Copies of this chain bind each other. A is one copy, B any other.
């Protein structure tokens, strides 16, 4: 990850133990980001202080400033880690699958699998979408654009191959609304797991765009 503290390399004790220490470091970083996510979720980005983050992560205030510089950098790392992970998982899932409807179902499933077990993360991403500035913001925007572009291509592919008639942008954005809004209501005891939800939402959405379209006879 490009955003590891620059001082780390020089601290490595030896070549052989570097992988083990990198893993430990990644785990520690993941732990810190999880706790920071909780704080941003509860207090909002503006309302959270470095002191709150220090308390929640168990890292000293000095250490937090030393390694992360600012709470903006922590928010950046949360966003980058999340979107990169989702994107990589998605690409792996889509490999070798050609049916356009099945590909959209995999997109939905991948997104829900990640966020059903990470609702706080989804809330922070949704609420702090514009909190990053300049360089950090544009790096995240780039990853998000790629994710959006993949979804748009999946949709256009389906539309072309099935000769369907719907507005791709509205369809993509409607789908993102359906699968992102879950952070406000999803309850595993009531709503089943990510697979159940992905099937139900996939049924509504895919029937909606494949059987519908602007030429639908009973449209009002």
Contacts and interface: CB of A to CB of B under 8 A. Distances in A.
Interface in A34-72: 43-48
Interface size for chain A: under 10, 10 to 19, 20 to 34, or 35 or more residues? 35 or more
A25 interface: no
Work out how many copies of this chain go into the complex.
2
Nearest to A172: B185
B208 A170 contact: no
A43 B46 CA distance: 7
Contacts of A44: 44-47, 127
Contacts of A213: 203
Contacts of A166: 200, 203-204
A43 to B, nearest CB: 6
Contact of A177 (B45, B179, B211): B179
A143 interface: no
Contacts of A200: 166-167, 170, 214
Interface of A: 43-48, 101-102, 105, 126-127, 129, 166-167, 169-171, 173-174, 176-182, 184-185, 190-191, 197, 199-209, 211-214, 216, 218-220
